[in-house]
A and B are shown apart, each in its own frame.
Chain A
Amino acid sequence: MSYHLLTYSVLFLPIVILLYQLAPAKARWVVMLAADYTFFWLISGKLIVWLLAATLVTYVTGLMLERFGRKRYIVLTGVMINLFLLIALKYIGVFGLSFVAPIGISYYTLQAIAYMTDVYRGTIKAERKIAKIALYLSFFPQIMEGPISRFSETAESLYAGSDISFENLVYGYQRIIWGLFKKMLIADRLAPLVSKVFSHSDNYDGSAICLAMLCYTMQLYMEFSGCMDIVMGSGEIFGVKLPENFRQPFFAKNAGDFWHRWHITLGTWLKDYVFYPISLAKPVKKLAKKVKLKAGIGVSKFVAPTIALFFVWITNGLWHGPKETYIFYGMYYFVLIFIENITETPLKKLKARINIKEESTGYRIFTFMKLFLIVNVGELFFRSDSVKAGVSMIRSMVTDFHITRLTDITLGVDIYDMLLAAICIILVFAVDVIHERGVSIREKLAGMRLPVRWGVWYAVILMIVIFGAYGAGYTMVDMIYAAY
């Protein structure tokens, strides 16, 4: 079972919708929880026991914080047990031991930690109904790839059992279709090329590697944001508003801004539960004060954020898995964002002095190209088998780039695949441009006449049916972020 399969959108989801709507409002949370656990069973089998353990620990920790006061040792115990389960199941393989981690553990563990910490901080009250905690941690549309939501964002609506409105049903399925479009027409069509070149990069010259790098970035964006469209649409059907995970990331001003637009909920989680607590920790503040006395505020203001930033990015890298490439990926962004932070003020002054206007088209094109390069190089290392292989691929692109050779080699896709993917990418980016201008396409479409409205959606469905990468000749491509 996976969100991009027909068994999800035309079988599992409609059955849940039907049972949910037929059930009395008070019992709908039971239907939802049964659907959540059935889905989890279908993707992870008996490993569901770990989800149940995390749910119980999270629930009991919340109650204890309420019963015995917001004691640090209580929240630490709850957080450590959840982290221990995550580390034991996901990372212990590094030491040669064999454990299987359930799909989704990286997402529900972060949600569990957020809940316990928020109860400890007093920003939310401990929940007395275990069902709400269970629903919050296991909501089937978000269990595989997030988004990482907060208890206050989803728990009430998951438990409420509101009617499914026709509007929500239509809006939800529209978004699911858009997600399938991105996944099946772009991501899965580019997947064979990416897989072929990245697994045997030594056999290819710089031009093929460059093409694979660009295709992988597009594959990852279309696949992850497409999956999020399916997830958000599924939630919308049940009246559950999940937090957005993407906001036109390629229109960011710099690497820091990019991470405010790409995998947003992981970024905000890291900000709230790693960045701020480390920045405001007493030893870090003491160190910043010492630096302030010796070097002034101009230097000291970077001390706490930089130390915290290091931990944010090492956590980000490790969260993806125990691989050197993920740690490198984290450190890559740590260095880039650190440089951006310390050069922000001098660059602003320089731009003012030489009269460079940030709003000018030329500067915006430069910013886009710079960010696009940064993101692509980062994703190349992220996808590489090792840092060494990544370095070697970069070297090939610099020293052995022969674009004319591209026509002589087999890359696992033909010219029509590439052409179709390119057209669809342009379409997605056109939609991104419109969203960046603050216009909601769905609302615009909803205001149009019925034939136009349905014509557009039928066209998208037909494109998926006719041009989607599925059936004979295609290997099913698993959801990339479900592996993290």
Chain B
Amino acid sequence: MEQLLEILEEIAPGEDYENCTTLIDDHILDSFAILSLVSEIEDTFDVEISPALLVPENFNSAAKLWEMICRLKGE
């Protein structure tokens, strides 16, 4: 989780990623930031993210992102 928070901070600095649950709904992460995030997550956690997973439910908060990463690592 720490690593994920670091990645988020690097891509779009200055947000409260531990508590924010509207990263997509409030346009904190735009489509360019999402792609940078996907690329970093794939490299760091050795998972593959498909276009089907690029939905607000998976990207609206750091916790949801972490859930998705754990799910993918378990597959």
Task: Point out residues on A near B: beta carbons under 8 Å.
Answer: 121-123, 256, 260, 271-272, 275-277, 279-280, 285, 288, 301, 304-305, 341
Task: Point out residues on B near A: beta carbons under 8 Å.
Answer: 27, 30-32, 35-36, 38-39, 42, 49-52, 54-55
Distance of B54 from chain A, by nearest CB (Å): 5
18 A-B pairs besides A279-B35, A280-B38, A301-B36 with CB distance below 8 A are A122-B52, A260-B27, A272-B51, A272-B54, A275-B31, A276-B51, A277-B51, A280-B35, A280-B49, A280-B50, A285-B42, A288-B39, A304-B35, A304-B39, A305-B31, A305-B32, A305-B35, A341-B32
Interface hub of B30, B36, B51 (most chain A Cβ within 10 A): B51
Q: Are B38 and A271 in contact (CB under 8 A)?
A: no
List the B residue with the shortest CB-CB distance to A122.
B52
Q: Which residues of B contact A271 (CB under 8 A)?
A: 31
Q: Which residues of A contact B55 (CB under 8 A)?
A: 123
Q: Are A121 and B39 in contact (CB under 8 A)?
A: no
Q: Which residues of B contact A279 (CB under 8 A)?
A: 35
In the complex, which of the residues B31, B32, B51 contacts A121, with contact meaning CB atoms closer than 8 Å?
B51
Q: Which residues of A contact B32 (CB under 8 A)?
A: 301, 305, 341
| Complex CA distance for A256 and B35, rounded to whole angstroms | 16
Distance of B58 from chain A, by nearest CB (Å): 11
Q: Which residues of B contact A341 (CB under 8 A)?
A: 32
Q: Which residues of A contact B50 (CB under 8 A)?
A: 121, 280
Q: Are B51 and A280 in contact (CB under 8 A)?
A: yes
Q: Which residues of A contact B42 (CB under 8 A)?
A: 285
| Complex CA distance for A272 and B54, rounded to whole angstroms | 8
| Complex CA distance for A123 and B30, rounded to whole angstroms | 21
List the B residue with the shortest CB-CB distance to A341.
B32
In the complex, which of the residues A256, A276, A304 contacts B54, with contact meaning CB atoms closer than 8 Å?
A276
| Complex CA distance for A272 and B30, rounded to whole angstroms | 13
Q: Are B39 and A123 in contact (CB under 8 A)?
A: no
| Complex CA distance for A271 and B51, rounded to whole angstroms | 10
List the A residue with the shortest CB-CB distance to B54.
A276
List the A residue with the shortest CB-CB distance to B38.
A280
Distance of A470 from chain B, by nearest CB (Å): 40
A-B contact pairs, 20 of them (CB 8 A): A121-B51, A123-B52, A123-B55, A256-B30, A260-B27, A271-B31, A276-B35, A276-B51, A276-B54, A277-B51, A280-B35, A280-B49, A280-B50, A285-B42, A288-B39, A301-B32, A301-B39, A304-B39, A305-B31, A305-B35
Q: Which residues of A contact B49 (CB under 8 A)?
A: 280
Distance of A136 from chain B, by nearest CB (Å): 20
In the complex, which of the residues A122, A275, A276, A285 contacts B39, with contact meaning CB atoms closer than 8 Å?
A285
Q: Which residues of A contact B30 (CB under 8 A)?
A: 256
List the B residue with the shortest CB-CB distance to A344.
B32
Distance of B12 from chain A, by nearest CB (Å): 11
Q: Which residues of B contact A256 (CB under 8 A)?
A: 30
| Complex CA distance for A122 and B27, rounded to whole angstroms | 25
Distance of B29 from chain A, by nearest CB (Å): 13
